[in-house]
Amino acid sequence: MSDDKQVIFSMSGLSKTYQSTGKQVLKNIHLSFFYGAKIGILGLNGSGKSSLLKIIAGVDKNYQGDINFLPGYSVGFLEQEPILDETKTVMDIVKEGVAETVAVLDEYNKINDQFGLEEVYSDADKMEKLMNRQAELQDQIDASDAWELDTKLEIAMDAFALQNQIHLFQYFLEENDAE
């Protein structure tokens, strides 16, 4: 079956009630996402959009119902109002979200550097071990499209910059409304 016809995520009979208030925000939700699908979640304030996304991302595990991911797929989650470490650059923060992929690319690059060392290229066993590990990493990189990581990070950084501009604009609107 082609990837675009595969259901990579499904949710059935999902309900969420906040124990502290007894308010049910999600009731008997059924969803399925195909590979590559673009998903939008719309609703009024307080209708459970953020709760649903936190459940999908695995941040909130206090719910009733079933959630299934196709093996090899996962979800990340970025808070609407993240608390960011002010000592880090935007790129540092964005890379935290893809630390596993960065680690695979770093290991791949270190192996490439080792191929140039005489103690490696003159030892057939060392070369074979490195080539085998490099092949494993290559498969991981190809499967996750990690060669495009820099482009994806630039897009994410642009989104952060846009979000900051929106917040700044909203702040000035609120300040002007208060006058």
Which tens digit of pLDDT belongs to each residue from 132-153?
A: 999 999 999 998 888 888 888 8
Q: Provide the percentage of residues in the chain whose pLDDT is more than 90.
A: 39
C-alpha distances (whole Å) from 15 to each of 20, 39, 126, 136 are 16, 20, 54, 40
C-alpha distances (whole Å) from 94 to each of 36, 76, 103, 107 are 22, 12, 14, 19
Task: Return the pLDDT at 167.
Answer: 56
Tell me which architecture the domain covering 3-69 has in CATH. Answer: 3-Layer(aba) Sandwich (3.40)
Look at residue 14 and tell me whether its pLDDT is greater than 90: yes
Look at residue 9 and tell me whether its pLDDT is greater than 80: yes
Radius of gyration of the chain (CA): 22
Q: Provide the percentage of residues in the chain whose pLDDT is more than 70.
A: 87
C-alpha 75/C-alpha 73 separation (Å) is 7
Rounded mean pLDDT, 70-95: 79
Task: Return the pLDDT at 10.
Answer: 92
Look at residue 71 and tell me whether its pLDDT is greater than 70: yes
Residue 133 near residue 111 (C-beta atoms within 8 A): yes
- Confidence band for 2, pLDDT divided at 50, 70 and 90: low
Query: What is the value of pTM for the model shown?
Result: 0.49
Task: Return the pLDDT at 162.
Answer: 58
Mean pLDDT, all residues of the chain: 84
Look at residue 176 and tell me whether its pLDDT is greater than 60: no
